Amino acid sequence: MHELGVTESIAGIVLRHAEMNGARRVIKVNIKLGELTGIVDHYVSFYWDLVTRDTIAQGAELNFDKVPVVAYCQNCREEFRIQEYDLTCPRCGEVASDIISGREFMVESIEIE
């Protein structure tokens, strides 16, 4: 369970940007969340309330943009979505070695006032 640490990182980024822009309050935070990270959005929301208490980001809405795990097959150049850790290419049957998305965890944008 590493959600507390990542939530603190996200809160730090959000507060830094909000303060740089002279915000009075953070309304919404859009977060890109790759399925491969294993991070559970529910826990991030839970910790968010703790780590932003008495800051201008308290009560901000968190919006998670879930990014599916996509692999690339070097054999036939197919890109395909991975489910349940099966890296076998549905087109040619080779095992893909490249994961091209799904590891994302980042602040995409924030809305302030």
Give the shortest CB-34-to-Zn ion separation in angstroms: 22
Name which of 94 and 104 has its Cβ closer to Zn ion: 94
d(C-alpha 59, C-alpha 38), whole Å = 24
For residues 71-103, one letter each, b for 16 or more C-beta atoms within 10 angstroms of the residue's C-beta and e for the rest, the string is bebeeeeeebebeeeeeebeeeeeebeeeebbe
Q: Which of 2, 19, 28, 76 binds Zn ion (CB under 5 A)?
A: 76
Q: Which is nearer to Zn ion, 75 or 97 (by Cβ)?
A: 75
What's the number of CA atoms in the CB half-sphere (13 Å) around residue 94?
A: 13
Contacts of Zn ion in 34-73 (CB under 5 A): 73
82 binds Zn ion (CB under 5 A): no
Q: Which is nearer to Zn ion, 74 or 109 (CB)?
A: 74
Question: Which residues would be at the binding site for Zn ion (CB under 5 A)?
Answer: 73, 75-76, 78, 89, 91-92, 94
